[in-house]
Chain A
Amino acid sequence: MNTRGLSLDTIPPLLIPLRFFLTAPLFGICAALLIFYQGSDIWLSRWSFSSLALTHLVTLGFMLMVMIGGLYQFIPVMVGQLIPAGQYLAPVIHSLLVIGTFSLAAAFLSHFIFLYVLALISLALSLSLFAFSLIPLLIAQLNKHLLVYLLRILLVVLAITIAFGLYMLFSYSFPDSLINYRLYTDIHALWGLLGWTVLLIMAVSSQVIPMFYVTPEFSKNSLKLLSMAIVLTLIMLSFSLLLIKDKLFSGIFFELLLSIELLVFSLYSLWLIEHRKRKLADVTISFFRIAHFSLLVVIILWWFYAQVISAEEELLKTQMEFILAISLVYGLALSAIIGLLQKIVPFLIFLHLQRLSLKHPGTISLVPNMKKIISTKNSKIQFLFHCLSLFLLIFSVFFPQWVWLAAILMMINFIWLWKNLLQGIFLYQKNRKQILNYNYSYET
C-alpha cells in the first residue's frame, strides 16, 4: 500500500466509542440489581419474565452496546475508513439503544403494552440506523480484511437474531397475534447466544489478541471457513427445529457438528494465546483465557444436558439451562469484553493524547503510559471480581439462597469497571488541558 495521495481517516472523535463503553457497565449494574431484587426466583425458569429481562439487559445493554462502540473505533483502525456520519448518527443510535433496552426490560417486568411498542420502535430504529451506516463498508471491496469478512457474517447472524426477537416483540405488542413463543425463543436464543456471541468473540479475538499480545496471527482462511460453517450449521439446526418434527437424528447431528466447530475455535484461540512471541505479564490476557475456557465448559455441559439428563429431571434441566447461559454470556462474552475494555479504553486515550501532543511539540512526556491509564493493580482487582462473580452466579443456580451474594459481586464487578473507565477519562481530560496549556505558554 502506497500512502501517497491517500487521505486516511482512522481516528473517530473519542466521544463516539466512549459513550457506548461508558454506558454498558450501567446496564450490568441494572442486571445485578434485578438479580438482587428477584432473589432466588430469578433462576426458577428461563421462561420467566424476570430472566428474560435479565438476559436482555446484559446482551443488549452491555454486549451490543460495547460491540457498536467497538466497531466505531476498530473499523477505521483496521481498514482506514470511518463509519460514515458517526458524529451525527452515533448519539441517536446510542440513545435509541438505551431507551429500547430499558423499555424492553421494563416491559418484561411490568407487561405494559406501551413499553413493548416503545422497545420495538427504539430497537428497530437503532439497529437499522447502525446497519444502514455500515452499508458502504460492507459493499466496499475490502475482502482482504478478515475483520470485514467476519463483520459481514456477524451482522447477518445479528440480523437473524434480532428479526426473531422483533417478531416476538411485535406479537407481545399486539397480543391478538398467536405465535409459538417457545419455538421462536429457542431459535432466537440459538442464534443470539451461540451464533452472535461466538462470532462476536471470534471477530474481537482475531484482531485484539494478535495486536495486544503479539500472538501468531489467526489464519484468515481457517476463521473464514469456521465462521461460515457455524452459520450453515445454525441454519440447518433452525430448520430442523422449525420443520422436522422428529428432530432426533438431524438435531443430534447438527448439534455435534456445532460442538466440534466451537471446540476447534476455542482450542485454536487458547493455542495461539499460549504461543505468543513475548510472554509479558499481563492480567488482561487472563480474561481471554477465562472466556475460551468457559466455551469449553459450555461444550461439555451441553452434551451432558442434551444426552444425560432425562426430560423428567426438570429441576436439573432448568439449572443446566441457566449454567449454559451464564457460561456463554458472562463466562465467554463478558470476560472477553471486560478484558477488551481494559485494553481499548487506555489505548484510545493514549492515541488521542499522542495525536494532540504531536501538534504541540515538547509535550510528549504528558502522554501517559497505557498501564497508568488503567493500572495493572486495578485490572487484577477487576479480574478477581469477575471470576468471583462468575463462580458465584453458577453456584447460586444450585444454591439459590446465595443469589444475593452473587448479585452483589456482579454489581461490584461492573461498578469497578465503570470506575476504572471513568478514571481513565478524567486522566485524559487532565492531561489534555496540560498539553494545551503547555503549548499556550510556549507560544506566548
Chain B
Amino acid sequence: MFKVRVIPCLDVKDGRVVKGVNFVDLRDAGDPVEAAIAYDAAGADELCFLDITATHENRGTMLDVVRRTAEACFMPLTVGGGVRTIDDIKTLLRSGADKVSINSAAVANREFVKRAAEKFGEQCIVVAIDAKRVKRGGGSDRWEIFTHGGRNSTGIDAIEYAQEVVSLGAGEILLTSMDRDGTRQGFDLPLTQAIADSVPVPVIASGGVGNLDHLVDGIRQGHATAVLAASIFHFGEFTIRQAKEHMVRAGLPMRLDP
C-alpha cells in the first residue's frame, strides 16, 4: 500500500544548520550531515535541505553537505534554495540530490521549469511555491505568490501558477503558506486543498505545523500527499516515529519500517 510521507526540512546556511538540531545526542548539532543521518535512522521518508546561504561564494559548501549526506544516507533527498540555472541543478544532482526545488527562478522565468524538466526529468523537478492570502477589494480573497521569504509580492495567482508550472513539467509542488510559516497554527488548509485539487502531481504541505494533528489535517483536509515540518522535529518536541504513529491512529497509511 502506498504511504503518506513525513519530511523533515533543514535550513542550512554556509554549510551549517540554522538554529541547530537537538532531538538526539549529536556531536555537532549544527552539522546537517549528522542531522540527516539521525533523521534517516529515525525513519523520515525523505529529507529536505533548504540552502539559505546568502553569498554565491559559499554555495560550494552546500554541495559538500549534499555529497557527504548521499554517502551516508540511502534515502531521498531534495535540495532547494538558490537554484537558478541548469548548471545549478546538474551539480546538485551529481552531488547526490534526488530532487531539486526551484522557487524564485521559476517565478522570474517559467521556461526554466520546462528546460529543467526536459533535461533532468519531471520526477526531480520540485517547484516551491510561497503563497500568501491577499485581500481583494470587492471580490473574494485569493492567494498570491510571494518571493524573498514573503517580502515581495508578485501579484501572481497561486492556483494558476501551480497549474502552469505543472504543465511545464514540475513533478511535485512544495507549498508553503507564508501566513502560517512559523506560527505553529497548522497548515493553511484551504490553500493546500485548493492547490492539491487543481494539479495532478503530488503536493507537499508546509508552513505552520505546531502539533501532530496538524500533520493529519494537511493530508485529510488539505489533500496533500506529504507533509513537511521543521521545528517540531528539530527541537525534540516530537520524533518522526511519534508523528507517524499519531497519523496511523488517525487512520492514515504510514511507513513504519524498522
Pairing of A with B: no
